[in-house]
Amino acid sequence: MLVTMKEMLEDAKKNHYALPAFDVSNYEMMKAVLETCEEEKSPALLMGLGVDLKGRDLNLLTSMIKGASEFYNIPICFHLDHATDLEFIKSAIGAGFSSVMFDGSVLPFEENAKKTAEVTKFAHTKGITVEAELGHVGNASVGSISETGTDTDPGESLTVPEEVKKFVEITDVDALAVAIGTAHGVYQKTPELRIDRLDEITAICDRPLVLHGGSGTPDDQMKNAIHHGITKINIYSDVLFALNQGLKNYLNTMTNPSTWPFLVYEDAIKMMKDVVREKLRTFGSSGRV
């Protein structure tokens, strides 16, 4: 069944674990995430990215996930990742997303707060959860594949704790993405999370906190971040790597191009499931259903 992100994250906050949130771009990624979450008895937090939701694809991907949610005995949330436009958010909610992120993180504080408040006001009348971002999580390497798909990223700016309280008051967001040292995409060097900064935010913010750029961040640092208040960690690049590596392994040795797709994707799905399982267990969301 489809649920909002709010109920998922509130349980995670109360019980001190985090949900890995997986961007899914196609059927195989969806299947790998949902099957593994059900096997692990974890709620499933799936996300869609604008690049996969152009034109009719918005309705196709949403219909597929809504349909699939009836066949799995776990709570499922389908969350719109990194939207920057209220009209698109309205279309996404109309298409069936149960949660949305408005990303105004490159805007000045006042403008980010004002636009986020507009999104929240609209979404809350429909019972939809809103995540926003304060500070900015940059891209690990310009020009690489990233969650945001942009190569014009202004770079990282850490969340300023003094701004958090005011931002939450103005916007009434349900979850807040913070910048504490992670980045989107593939890291060129190991990140060093600013847990001291996270503690300052946790002390004054009663909303669930979100970490973007989870792929490639060392497990001990992510566990520490969860211990200090993070309840959702976004994962894309790690699953993408597994998908493409699995396909590459198979296609490099394939002699007959008229091979069944289920055989072509077999290794890729298994490799994605291993990544998903590892995140569910590391973040403590296994066994919560």
Q: Residue count at the site for Zn ion (CB under 5 A)?
A: 3
288 binds Zn ion (CB under 5 A): no
Minimal distance, residue 151 CB to Zn ion, in Å: 15
Q: 169-184 burial, b for 16+ CB within 10 Å, e for fewer?
A: ebbebbbbbbbbbbbb
Residue closest to Zn ion when measured from CB atoms: 212
* Catalytic pick among 11, 52, 57, 81: 81
Selected from 79, 207, 212, 288, the binder of Zn ion by CB under 5 A is 212
**Nearest CB to Zn ion, comparing residues 80 and 128:** 80
Instruction: Name residues whose C-beta falls within 8 Å of residue 182's C-beta, 6 or more positions apart in sequence.
Output: 137, 191, 193, 211, 212, 213, 214, 217
Identify residues 25-64 at the interface with Zn ion (CB under 5 A): none
Residue whose tokens read 């096997």: 39
Tell the smallest beta-carbon distance from residue 133 to Zn ion (Å): 8
Residue 207 or 212: the one with the smaller Cβ distance to Zn ion is 212
DSSP type of residue 127: T
Residue of 23, 40, 147, 156 interacting with Zn ion (CB under 5 A): 147
183 to 32, 41, 52, 165, 286: CA distances (angstroms): 24, 29, 21, 24, 25
- Tell me whether residue 159 or residue 234 sits nearer to Zn ion (CB atom): 234
Piece of 57-65, 118-126, 142-150, 223-231 that binds Zn ion (CB under 5 A): 142-150
Provide Rg for the chain, Cα atoms: 18
Which of residues 194 and 212 has its CB atom nearest to Zn ion in the complex?
Answer: 212
Residues 222-251 that bind Zn ion (CB under 5 A): 234
Name the token pair of 100.
């949305």
Closest CB to Zn ion among residues 40, 131: 131
Q: Is 81 a known active-site residue?
A: yes
How far apart CA 236 and CA 171 sit, in angstroms, is: 27
CA nearest 232: which of 2, 8, 1? 8
In sequence order, the 6+-apart residues with CB closer than 8 A to the CB of 159 are: 134, 135, 178, 179, 180, 197, 201
CB of 177 to Zn ion, least distance (A): 7
- Rounded to the nearest angstrom, the gap between the alpha carbon of residue 74 and the centroid of all alpha carbons in its chain is 18
Nearest distance from residue 234's CB to Zn ion, in Å?
5
- The least distance separating Zn ion from the CB of residue 232, rounded to whole angstroms, comes to 11
CA–CA distance, 274 with 42 (Å, rounded to integer): 15
Residues in contact with Zn ion by CB under 5 A are 147, 212, 234
Catalytic residues: 81
